[in-house]
Amino acid sequence: GAGVSQSPSNKVTEKGKDVELRCDPISGHTALYWYRQSLGQGLEFLIYFQGNSAPDKSGLPSDRFSAERTGGSVSTLTIQRTQQEDSAVYLCASSPQGGDNTEAFFGQGTRLTVV
């Protein structure tokens, strides 16, 4: 596709359930980021993939959060045993190379609501 695609666009889940969020980056982009944005707040870094290197997981808030990137392309963010404080918009971005001084292209995000 032309841009970063995320699915689903909206997800409502019950507290305690697991959820999976998907990101399709722009073809050929080696770097992929996941962020979380709570209402009225800036973006909070979660995890970063760059090529075949080990991911930078330093932003994951707890061990309930995990992410993988298969074949250097599609990425899935998994949240286990969801809590109400997990409610936020989860944004994925990709960029052509790994340096932070390159433009990142963002998807529309997945709005997660935990009830």
Partner 1 sequence: LAKTTQPISMDSYEGQEVNITCSHNNIATNDYITWYQQFPSQGPRFIIQGYKTKVTNEVASLFIPADRKSSTLSLPRVSLSDTAVYYCLVGGYNAGNNRKLIWGLGTSLAVNP
Positions that interact with partner 1 (CB under 8 A): 4, 33, 35, 40-45, 48, 50, 53, 56, 58-59, 91, 93, 98-101, 103-109
Which candidate, 108, 106, 102, places its Cα nearest to that of 94? Answer: 106
* Residue nearer to partner 1 on the CB measure, 80 or 105: 105
Least gap, CB of 86 to partner 1 (angstroms): 19
Token pair listed for 24: 């399709």
Q: Tokens at residue 84, please?
A: 């109400």
Q: How far is the CB of 34 from partner 1 (least distance, A)?
A: 11
User: Which residue's entry shows tokens 């433009």?
Assistant: 103
